[in-house]
Amino acid sequence: MLTSLLGLFFSALVAATLFPAASEAVLVGLLLESNIAPFVLISTASLGNILGSWINWWLGRQIDRFHDKAWFPIKPEKLALAKARFHRYGEWSLLLSWVPIIGDPLTLAAGVLGMPYQRFLVYVTIAKTLRYCAVTFITLGIV
């Protein structure tokens, strides 16, 4: 059981970074073939995926340290404008952080644009957990 949960956790963590992975397939397999409670599986997958998203956010924060360097690819004026727009509209976009292809870059952008991690974690936790709940409900025929 512990091995299965660790596998799910790490597949969810990797899936939330910029590396391709399919944690939903691992979750579905465990839902169908193990006797682990669905709540435990949802919690494990969500925690791994949230941690992976936080890693993206942290990397974005580290990248931002270099914005005043000559080699940095974004001009200071454009970065300031992007930050202002993200603070106005961008936080809600993190509710789409579960969406393949666009979700992972959104979490990185939140870090680059200086979103406080507490608010970041609220949006990402809602999005990621609801995604795994939906996968679970569909797999078990609850919906």
Neighbours of 116 (CB within 10 A): 10
How far is residue 86 from each of residues 82, 98, 106, measured CA to CA in Å?
A: 6, 18, 10
- State which H helix or E strand residue 75 sits in: none
Output the CA torsion 75→81→86→87 (10° steps).
Answer: 130
Decide: helix, strand or coil at residue 102: coil
For the entire predicted model, the pTM comes to 0.85
Per-residue pLDDT reduced to its tens digit, 63-118:
867 777 777 666 667 666 556 666 777 788 899 888 887 788 888 889 888 899 99
